Amino acid sequence: MSEEQSQEQKKNPAVTYLGPCPICGKGQIAEGNVVYRCNYIKNLKDDKCDFHIFKTYNGAEITPEHVKQLLENGKTEIIEFTSQAGNKFNGYLTIEGKEVKMEFANGLENLPQLETPCPICGEPVYIFNTGYGCKNIHETDENGEKKCNLWISKTIAGRTIKEKEAEQLLLEKKTSFLDGFRNNQGNLFSTRLVLDNEGNIHFDSTVCKCPKCGGDVKIGNKSYNCSNWKTTGCTFNIWREIAYRKITPEEVQQLCEEKATKILEGFKNKDKSKTFSGQLILSDDFVVKIL
Ligand SMILES: [Zn+2]
Ligand SMILES: [Zn+2]
Ligand SMILES: [Zn+2]
């Protein structure tokens, strides 16, 4: 420590210097209220150093020990950060140019990728511990705006989102209808996931139009039913399983639009002793029958 610095430290014993400034080489880094900053100021206008390290990055507290690591080694140990979506991830701070930057612990390039690139910005989508995220989710443009929002959590409403489901969401901007989600009350529900142009994910449980009233037919736990039942009392309903055979949303759509499905295999009679094929048809009073 130079004589000058020890003089200053005597004057202000609360200041602890964490090490010499890696940018200007003239000042020392000291802890302030919001940032750790270089104390070099000869002339406020053109001879001062702006180097600073924020005390929090992505929800993680940066300790004086981290700052010492950064000054001595050019990077900190691995720190657990939290993304804006609330997901934890590992990274470290490093110095790039004259700025402190956060890097992913693994080096993003070493992470596995999905096959389909980000439909919003075209960059690769990486498989993180807790979700599928665009390369650009932690990057900002010159205006400080996030470059891309695309983040598909690996758990949505209590349900695990598999890689092939994430691929489908990226490729088609929507998934097939998926079962096994749970709402805040803990009740199961089915829905497809839909990706909008901003990279946000929405639920959409609408299968097709109701042939009886023109409302939306939605997928429920046990049946496909008209969403107008609460308002107009429309009772249009198709069971998700008929004669021991699962009825797919595509079959429901065909049935509602054309009043008949193609011939479907795999129905069973009451005691399951016989398997048979048939067409589902919609009668004039909107009842489903097997023909
Ligand atoms: Zn400096
Ligand atoms: Zn993107
Ligand atoms: Zn209806």
Query: pLDDT digit string (tens) for 98-132?
Result: 899 998 876 676 688 999 999 999 999 999 878 99
Ligand at minimal distance from the CA of 24 is: 1
pLDDT tens, position by position, 48-86:
999 999 999 999 999 999 999 999 989 998 888 988 878
Using a CB cutoff of 5 Å, list residues around ligand 3, an ion.
210, 212-213, 215, 226, 228, 234, 236
Please tell me the distance between residue 49's alpha carbon and the centre of ligand 1 in angstroms.
4
Instruction: Say if CB 115 and CB 129 are below 8 A apart.
Output: no
pLDDT of 182-222, one tens digit each?
999 999 999 999 999 999 999 999 999 999 999 999 999 99
Q: What is the mean pLDDT of residues 157-180?
A: 97
Distance (Å, whole) CA 179 – CA 189: 6
Would you put residue 86 in left (φ > 0), alpha (ψ -120 to 50) or beta?
A: left
| 19, burial (CB in 10 Å: exposed 0-12, middle 13-18, buried 19+) | middle
Q: How many CA atoms lie within 13 A of 110 on its CB side?
A: 5
Q: How far apart are CA 25 and CA 234, in angstroms?
A: 76
CA of 166 to the centre of ligand 3 (A): 32
For residue 122, give the 3-state DSSP assignment.
coil
Surrounding residues of ion ligand 2, Cβ less than 5 A: 118, 120-121, 134, 136, 148, 150
- CA 95, chain centre distance (Å): 28
Taking the CA atoms of 189, 193, 197 and 200 in sequence, report the sign of the dihedral they define. Answer: positive
